[in-house]
Structure 1
Amino acid sequence: MKRLRVSLIGLLLLALAACNCSKDEYKLVWQDEFDYVGLPDSTKWAYDQEGNAHGWGNNESQFYTRARKENAWVEDGKLHITAINEAYEGKAFTSARLMSKADWLHGKVEVRAKLPKGVGTWSAIWMMPGGWSFNDGDWPNIGEIDIMEHVGHDLGVIHASAHSKDYQWQTGTQQTGVINVPDVDTQFHNYILEWTPDTMKAFVDEQQYFAYGNEGLGVDKWPYEKPFYLLLNVAVGGAWGSVEGIDTLAFPQTMEVEYVRIYQK
């Protein structure tokens, strides 16, 4: 009887351990594998255009279009976001800025992509608070999470950052990390964010290069306890993208995305 009781206790402990383990594991909750042909899936993606008239606050040179196949198109198992040197709606370039129709609080974001290289390009995989749009303003107080930023004049240098009221690029205080990935324009890599109530970590493939911990000092430093949606875009020019000008002959330039996967515990 004593031996049986010990065995039952052991089985119970194993079951509890398995239960706790499953709670800690990431589970896929949202994805786009781009296994279709045509415009990006309209049940998953919308087009962000609100800042076109204002250069997106950065004096950017592109006009982001809506549902225009030349700028955003899925084919051969990949999403193509293409910036084109063409006059359009008063701008010198066109491109696309896609935003997910879902948002998430915490989790793991994984985007497998190949990046553009032309001088003047500014490609990004990033997140903004759910329900927020450009015309709402109050940036950067509301928070911004940059999983990947890459400018063509600094080929192969990947940045991840978090912006808030107290930590922002205008004052050079943003929380940030940098990694050199020489073949970003010829090979696909996984750009990953792991976000919990306590930390943010960014990776390229398996290599972590950014970490930022919640200091527990309020929303001015950590405005990240709310859902954020995902953005994918290729900008042209702007405060950062045109530091060394824009090579108009390098266009068109495309960011290709093999998949987007969102996991939560």
Structure 2
Amino acid sequence: MQTPFFKTYRPAINLLFSLALALGVMGCEPDETQTVTTFTDLVFEDNFDVDGPIDESSWNYEIGNGINNGLPVGWGNNELQYYTDRPENIKVEGGMLHITALRESFQGSTFTSARITTKDKVEQRYGRIEARMQLPWGRGLWPAFWMLGSNIDEVEWPQCGEIDIMEYRGQDPSTLIGSVHGPGYSAGEAVSKEYVLPNDRFDTGFHIFGIEWGPDYINFYVDDVLYNQITPEDVEGEWVFDQPFYMLLNVAVGGDFVGPVGLNTVFPQTLLVDYVRVYNGSN
């Protein structure tokens, strides 16, 4: 396990330099006059140190194919997996959370996997949110570390807002995407940017995926690289990121974002999570 990762201050020149290295099509460069927040107050961490099931004081299982969440089969994205709480699909072992996608016939689906959330248990408004993970690979795999607005039951999606800290197409193992969704800029119209890992792949080692989030910005990081900043000026609609959000971790299989599962995709495939941490900050 590594010691907590955070940066206490990033001068504007370093922010601009990091953005100059990044690839992508949307988002903006940081405002040189913007206040930089120091995120040092650790308010939540799960280091997955105890073998067995997840800690249900912090995490919830989401089960099924989407129908029980009021969505069409496939979680609204034409996904192929059925999420379970079985140890075959999700367990803590060896200091890691393992979320494993399997090719199998189960409850009418052709794949199984797992999805967990911190809804009603760990919710955060602003701060640094990060996870250290090694990603699976193969065409049709869709792992994600993301957040939804805690008011989703009252206002539904996308009015509640969504922050995709990391999502990734398994067929493109050097590239990930960070996005925000809200009213007027959701699904295919989300505000997104890609980050390409130089000369490496996300399935061959661990990397830290995180955001630093304040009242008028969300900064996206891979390890120590800031690759995008999104502000209210970047969205074509209401800025809804001024309320508590909860975290989600999952591995989807197939669906609109990644396309069909490849004939050569090998199963099982596992997302390994070393830790999840949340920090508060002060100016």
Provide the TM-score with structure 2 as the length reference: 0.78
Distance in structure 1 (CA, Å) of the matches to 2:155 and 2:113: 22
Displacement over 4 Å in runs of 4+:
none
Matched, 1:263 2:279: yes
Counterpart for residue 61 of structure 1:
80
Please identify, of 148-157 and 76-85, the stretch whose mean Cα deviation from structure 2 is larger.
148-157
CA distances 1:178-199 after superposition (whole Å, capped 9, x unpaired) = 1112320010000011010010
Distance in structure 1 (CA, Å) of the matches to 2:229 and 2:235: 17
Matches within 5 A, 1:12-51: 24-49=38-63
Distance in structure 2 (CA, Å) of the matches to 1:236 and 1:191: 21
Q: Secondary structure at the match of 1:26?
A: strand
Q: For residue 82 of structure 1, report the CA deviation from its aligned partner.
A: 0.3
Calculate the aligned-residue CA RMSD, in Å: 2.1
Matches within 5 A, 1:1-265: 24-49=38-63, 52-53=66-67, 54-66=73-85, 68-100=86-118, 101-132=121-152, 138-170=156-188, 172=189, 174-181=190-197, 182-215=200-233, 220-242=237-259, 245-247=261-263, 249-265=265-281
Q: Secondary structure at the match of 1:154?
A: coil
Q: For residue 51 of structure 1, report the CA deviation from its aligned partner.
A: 5.1
Distance 1:242 1:216, change over 3 A: closer
Q: Which runs of 5+ in 2 are unaligned?
A: 1-36, 68-72
CA distances 1:123-172 after superposition (whole Å, capped 9, x unpaired) = 00000011536xx77322221000000011222111000011122233x3
CA distances 1:189-219 after superposition (whole Å, capped 9, x unpaired) = 000110100100110000111210123999x
Q: Secondary structure at the match of 1:242?
A: coil
Distance in structure 2 (CA, Å) of the matches to 1:229 and 1:76: 26
**% identical equivalent positions:** 40
Provide the TM-score with structure 1 as the length reference: 0.83
Distance in structure 2 (CA, Å) of the matches to 1:106 and 1:256: 26
Q: Secondary structure at the match of 2:74?
A: helix
Distance in structure 1 (CA, Å) of the matches to 2:163 and 2:63: 20
Distance in structure 1 (CA, Å) of the matches to 2:103 and 2:64: 21
Q: For residue 24 of structure 1, report the CA deviation from its aligned partner.
A: 4.3
Letter in 2 for 1:93: F
Count of residues in Structure 1 that have an aligned counterpart in Structure 2: 236
Distance in structure 1 (CA, Å) of the matches to 2:225 and 2:257: 25
The answer on whether the counterparts of 1:122 and 1:235 sit within 8 Å (CA) in structure 2 is yes
Q: For residue 221 of structure 1, report the CA deviation from its aligned partner.
A: 2.7
The answer on whether the counterparts of 1:111 and 1:259 sit within 8 Å (CA) in structure 2 is yes
Flag the structure with larger Rg.
Answer: 1
Q: For residue 102 of structure 1, report the CA deviation from its aligned partner.
A: 1.0
The answer on whether the counterparts of 1:120 and 1:247 sit within 8 Å (CA) in structure 2 is no
